[in-house]
Amino acid sequence: MLLTVDEQSRVIEMAWEDRTPFEAIEQQFKMNESQLIRFMRSSLKSRSFKLWRKRVSGRATKHTQLRSDDVSRSHCPTQYKHR
């Protein structure tokens, strides 16, 4: 699947977000976790990719089934404030 520049930017943003599970990215962009990892590797600088992998590895909030029931939303309450 070819993504527009805006879609690529959104995928990267969602991948970095702690509360956005991989399943949400797959549902919206048809990109499973292994495809996302390949995408991120090719889209980010090497150091940024390594930081991202370290950040998301083992993070329960990145997998819907592993999340605590306390996590009921996919973003921080202050993330999308409108003025």
pLDDT digits (tens, 9 = 90+) for 35-51: 999 999 999 999 999 99
Nearest residue to 29 via CA among 50, 43, 48: 43
Name the residue with higher pLDDT: 17 or 68.
Answer: 17
Which residue in this structure is represented by tokens 């909030």?
Answer: 61
Domain range for residue 51? 5-62
Residue 47 included in any domain: yes
In the prediction, which pLDDT does 60 show?
Answer: 75
Position 14 in a domain: yes
In a domain, 79, yes or no: no
Instruction: State if pTM tops 0.95.
Output: no
Question: What tokens were used for 76?
Answer: 């921080």
**For the chain, what is the domain count?**
1
What is the Cα–Cα distance from 33 to 37, expressed in whole angstroms? 6
% of the chain beyond a pLDDT of 70: 73
